[in-house]
Structure 1
């Protein structure tokens, strides 16, 4: 379980989150994070997803970024606030050459902090530590599919399609892959 001040380092995929308030701090009402998105974050293959039981909000604190909400990209700059209702398809990216800083909340918290901690574990397994290089390959996809299937109440992929995530997660479990 995450704790206030904990850093969730996902640098290999261009992100670093700091926990401002964990679920325990808000009695489960929210998970509050400070994000740093590195230049080019999520430009190639952003995870388009929904949160079936939570509202996600964003406040851009510094920089320019883009959000995909419903079916279109929206530019956002410092001071902009966005809210994504439960079940709405979305993702984000940093198309600039500057770090973007964002205040983010998930309401209620559910197990999102556990999801982010487990993403870090998967990244540790699949990142070439000598080069700090992340590669999206079949092994990575299998690990991520197991992860996504473990958090279906928190997050469901739309692209790649959920049916593919379910199937690949099943295959990974048959072969004993765990993170």
Structure 2
């Protein structure tokens, strides 16, 4: 089901995914943030990361999702799900030939919705390219992660490296969307 509310659609087309927010932070009174994620074939996924204060779950609706949790990769098929406990390194990708649709939940919501909306604004404006191969993209993704370190921290590359890049970015005048 696709919402007619365009404010709930986050199209990250340049990196191979789009989301429909099905339960915003406000909708759940902060208990969780929920979205349907669609990942194109070959989607490389985010860096290995942790959520220090929240769990994240994935429920596959269609396609096959590759998920790495605590160093172990596994494939999830339609109807299967996994919950990643707070503080556990994880990532995901779509290494298959068909798109993946999944229900993604962050619990509690914390500032995840703001993080993803800011990330979307950077990608949509062409300011952030992923994977970040140019200096500006490295700086901006580092600044975003550091601004939201209560929600997300990179495990690889190390978060402390991102803190240094974010500091350099601020010195150089880089700014994030509000």
Q: Same fold (TM over 0.5)?
A: yes
Q: Does 1:106 align with 2:101?
A: no
**Could you say which residue in structure 1 is the equivalent of 2:56?**
56
Pick from 136, 142, 145: which aligns with 1:145?
142
Which digits, 9 at most, give the CA deviation of each residue in 1:19-46, with x for residues without a partner?
A: 0010111110000110000111116xx3
Query: Whole-Å Cα distance in 1 between the matches of residues 166 and 144 of structure 2?
Result: 8
Query: Whole-Å Cα distance in 1 between the matches of residues 72 and 13 of structure 2?
Result: 26
Which digits, 9 at most, give the CA deviation of each residue in 1:68-93, with x for residues without a partner?
A: 10012111111111000010000000
- RMSD between aligned alpha carbons? 1.9
Contact 1:22–1:113 (CA under 8 A) maintained in structure 2: yes
2:165 is paired with a residue of what secondary structure?
A: helix
Contact 1:126–1:135 (CA under 8 A) maintained in structure 2: no
Unaligned runs of 5+ residues in structure 1 are: none
Provide the aligned length of Structure 1 versus Structure 2: 171
Pick from 27, 32, 53: which aligns with 1:25?
27
| TM-score computed with the length of structure 2 as normaliser | 0.90
2:26 is paired with a residue of what secondary structure?
A: helix
Cα drift, residue 135 of structure 1: 6.0
**Could you say which residue in structure 2 is the equivalent of 1:12?**
14
Cα drift, residue 141 of structure 1: 0.4
**Could you say which residue in structure 2 is the equivalent of 1:117?**
117
Unaligned runs of 5+ residues in structure 2 are: none
Cα drift, residue 4 of structure 1: 9.0
| TM-score computed with the length of structure 1 as normaliser | 0.90
1:160–1:114 Cα change, 3 Å: same
Structure 1: which 4+ aligned runs deviate by more than 4 Å?
Answer: none
Query: Whole-Å Cα distance in 2 between the matches of residues 148 and 157 of structure 1?
Result: 7
Q: Does 1:40 align with 2:37?
A: no
Query: Whole-Å Cα distance in 2 between the matches of residues 134 and 49 of structure 1?
Result: 15
Cα drift, residue 125 of structure 1: 3.5
1:125 is paired with a residue of what secondary structure?
A: coil
